[in-house]
Structure 1
Amino acid sequence: MDVLVTGGAGFIGGHIAERMTRLGHDVTALDNFEPFYNVGIKEHTVEQCRELAAEGNGSYELVNDDLRDAELVNELVADADYVYHQAAQAGVRASVKNPRKVNEINIDGTINLLEAARNSDTERVVVASSSSVYGKPQYLPYDEDHPTTPVSPYGVSKLATEQYARVYSEVYGLPTVSLRYFTVYGPRMRPNMAISNFVSRCLHGEPPVIYGDGSQTRDFTFVDDILWVNEKLLESDAADGEIMNVGSTDNIAIKTLAKEVRDQLAPELELEYGERNDADAEHTHADISKVNELLGYEPATDIREGVGEFIDWYRANEEWYDPLVRDS
């Protein structure tokens, strides 16, 4: 099967490309290698996928280019059976500084992809959305019927992305599924995310820094659980046209998370606090009953197990992954 993964060298997209290659599919990864974070992390992902292909699994091709190139996107989509659309300008805080760029990449780029897919024989487009679409909670956990009032340009762009996918499904008959991810973490995640930042600081004898009072809560989802859902969509059409939460239901306060990392690595350290960013959501918590009903999804990794696995991976890959080691 021919699989196109946009953002295919990034965190989630890279894991999807790796999994699909391992499963024996012919994978094309599109990524523009924008240096939003260290591109060396993406290069490790690409090398791992190439090694898998060389070992006799599926095939793997990297296309170092941009989703905003409509002609290129048309060519790539025309050769794909399934499209996993993971490419996006990430970062809530970055979106506040430059909303126009977020719009161009996340919305215009998505329209390029959907237009190409509706004019091809694409069997399904799986779109990465985000819990950021919900904004301030009126109730928790969020179900898919909760009002969507995002509090950042990034959240707005993700809401537009999934709604375009829904419209292309309803109006043009293009099979699409949008997955609202809830704070995904795991190996090769962006090093400026809370968990990786806490681990890095503790490993170097520096206290974890919490932005705000730490009462904010997140539904952290281990990347393997995200992969399970994406892989399931290769074999099931039960969710076509749907928008679904994918979380862990494992809600934890940021302060508790910082303590968990600190206690595993450097229990003598005190926690530090910084100024909270207003664009950050106060709470996220996923109701996953819909994805459970349609696909049988059950998250397999709770936050404490996942943090332990991530710490083990971090130690083994610290030399190239940790910015304090890599840049020293």
Structure 2
Amino acid sequence: MHVLVTGGAGFIGSHLAEHFVQQGHDVTVLDSFEPYYDLGIKERNVEAAITAAADSAGTYELVEDSITDADTVDDCVTQADVIYHQAAQAGVRKSVDKPQTVNRYNVDGTIELLEAARRHNVTRVVVASSSSVYGKPEYLPYDETHPTTPVSPYGVSKLATEQYARVYNEVYGLPTVSLRYFTVYGPRMRPNMAITNFVSRSLHGEPPVIYGDGSQTRDFTYIDDVKRVNAQLLTDDSADGEILNVGSTDNIDIQTLAETVCEEIDPSLKLEYDDPREGDAEHTHADISKANGQLGYEPTTDIREGVSTFIDWYRDNRDWYDPLVRQS
């Protein structure tokens, strides 16, 4: 089977590309290499998939261009059976600064992709959405019927993305599934996330910095759980037309997360606090009963186990992943 992964040099996309290549599929990755963070990390992501291809019957092709380029998108979609649409301008805080940029990549780019998929009768498009679509909670955990009132341009763009996917399914018959990810983490994750910041500072003997009072909560989802549910959708059509939460076993407050990291690395470190960051949600917590009912989705990694695994991986890969080591 031929799989197209947009944003396939990024965190989640590269794990999907690597997995599908290992399973013997032909994979095309479309990525613009937007310098939102150190591109050396994306280069390592690509290397991981190339290495996987060398050891399997699958093939790997990298196309470096934007999801907004109609001709490139059409060329990539022409050969695809299934599309995993991970490409997006990520980052809540960045979207507050540049909402037009976020709309161009996340909304306009998605429409380009869906149009091409419709023209070429693609078997399925799996769209990466986000818990950011919910905004301020009226109740927790969020189920898929919870009101969607995002508090950032990024959240608005992701809501538009999944709604376009739904409409393309209902109006044009294009098989689509949208997965609302809840703060995915793990090896090769973006270096500007809370977990990476806490781990990096702690390994350098510096106290983790919490933005706000630490009472805000997050549902952190380990990358292996996300990878598994995406892989199931390669052949499972039971969720076509649906929007599904993909979360973890539980949520955790940010202060406890920081304390967990310190306990693993250096219990003597004291936490520091700074002003809250604009656009960040106060709480996230996923009700995954719909994904469980339709796909049998069951997350297997709790946050403490996942953090411990990530810290071990971080230590083994500090020479290229740690921002302070790379700058020295």
Interval of TM-score (by shorter of Structure 1 and Structure 2): over 0.9
Residue 122 of structure 1 aligns to a residue whose secondary structure is: coil
The total of aligned residue pairs comes to 328
- Partners of 1:168 and 1:71 in 2: how far apart? 20
Q: How does 1:300-315 map to 2 (within 5 A)?
A: 300-315=300-315
Instruction: Please state how far the C-alpha of 1:48 moved relative to its aligned partner.
Output: 1.2
Q: Which runs of 5+ in 1 are unaligned?
A: none
Q: Does 1:176 align with 2:176?
A: yes
Q: Which residue of 1 aligns with 2:146?
A: 146
Q: Which residue of 2 aligns with 1:293?
A: 293
Q: Which residue of 2 aligns with 1:203?
A: 203
**AA matched with 2:93:** R
Q: Is the 8 A contact 1:245 1:290 kept in 2?
A: yes
Q: Is the 8 A contact 1:320 1:326 kept in 2?
A: yes
Q: Which runs of 5+ in 2 are unaligned?
A: none
**AA matched with 1:268:** S
Instruction: Please state how far the C-alpha of 1:278 moved relative to its aligned partner.
Output: 3.0
Residues 7-44 of structure 1: per-residue CA shift (max 9 Å, x gap): 00000001110111111100000001111000101101
- Partners of 1:276 and 1:247 in 2: how far apart? 24
- Partners of 2:85 and 2:231 in 1: how far apart? 14
Q: Is the 8 A contact 1:130 1:179 kept in 2?
A: yes
- Partners of 2:167 and 2:320 in 1: how far apart? 42
Q: Is the 8 A contact 1:141 1:286 kept in 2?
A: yes
Q: Is the 8 A contact 1:249 1:287 kept in 2?
A: no
Residue 122 of structure 2 aligns to a residue whose secondary structure is: coil
Instruction: Please state how far the C-alpha of 1:250 moved relative to its aligned partner.
Output: 1.4
Q: Which residue of 2 aligns with 1:212?
A: 212
Q: Which residue of 2 aligns with 1:102?
A: 102
Q: Which residue of 2 aligns with 1:252?
A: 252
Instruction: Please state how far the C-alpha of 1:121 moved relative to its aligned partner.
Output: 2.4
Instruction: Please state how far the C-alpha of 1:56 moved relative to its aligned partner.
Output: 2.9
Q: Which residue of 2 aligns with 1:321?
A: 321
Q: Which residue of 1 aligns with 2:10?
A: 10
Q: Is the 8 A contact 1:83 1:125 kept in 2?
A: yes
- Partners of 1:101 and 1:261 in 2: how far apart? 34
- Partners of 2:90 and 2:107 in 1: how far apart? 12
- Partners of 1:232 and 1:52 in 2: how far apart? 20
Residues 269-305 of structure 1: per-residue CA shift (max 9 Å, x gap): 1000010013100000000000000000100100000
- Partners of 1:36 and 1:43 in 2: how far apart? 13
- Partners of 2:224 and 2:56 in 1: how far apart? 23
- Partners of 1:223 and 1:241 in 2: how far apart? 24
Residues 149-208 of structure 1: per-residue CA shift (max 9 Å, x gap): 000000000000000000000000000000000000000001110001100000000000
Residue 5 of structure 1 aligns to a residue whose secondary structure is: strand
Q: Does 1:59 align with 2:62?
A: no
Residues 219-271 of structure 1: per-residue CA shift (max 9 Å, x gap): 00000000011001012100000000000041100000000001110111100
- Partners of 2:115 and 2:66 in 1: how far apart? 16
Moved over 2 A (4+): none
Q: How does 1:24-43 map to 2 (within 5 A)?
A: 24-43=24-43
Q: Is the 8 A contact 1:78 1:121 kept in 2?
A: no
Q: Is the 8 A contact 2:249 2:301 kept in 1?
A: no
Q: Does 1:263 align with 2:263?
A: yes
- Partners of 2:55 and 2:278 in 1: how far apart? 48
Could you state the TM-score of these two structures normalised by the residue count of structure 1? 0.99
Q: Which residue of 2 aligns with 1:234?
A: 234
- Partners of 1:313 and 1:269 in 2: how far apart? 21
**AA matched with 1:94:** K
- Partners of 1:255 and 1:134 in 2: how far apart? 22
Percent of paired sites with the same residue: 71
Instruction: Please state how far the C-alpha of 1:216 moved relative to its aligned partner.
Output: 0.2
Q: Is the 8 A contact 1:249 1:285 kept in 2?
A: no
Give the RMSD, CA atoms, in angstroms.
Answer: 0.6
Residue 129 of structure 2 aligns to a residue whose secondary structure is: strand
Instruction: Please state how far the C-alpha of 1:52 moved relative to its aligned partner.
Output: 1.3
- Partners of 1:235 and 1:107 in 2: how far apart? 26
Instruction: Please state how far the C-alpha of 1:146 moved relative to its aligned partner.
Output: 0.1
- Partners of 1:51 and 1:223 in 2: how far apart? 19
Q: Which residue of 2 aligns with 1:136?
A: 136
Q: Which residue of 2 aligns with 1:91?
A: 91
Q: Is the 8 A contact 1:249 1:288 kept in 2?
A: no
- Partners of 2:249 and 2:56 in 1: how far apart? 37
Greater Cα offset, 241-250 or 171-180: 241-250
Instruction: Please state how far the C-alpha of 1:78 moved relative to its aligned partner.
Output: 1.1
Residue 201 of structure 1 aligns to a residue whose secondary structure is: helix
**AA matched with 2:70:** A
Instruction: Please state how far the C-alpha of 1:209 moved relative to its aligned partner.
Output: 0.2
- Partners of 1:24 and 1:75 in 2: how far apart? 22
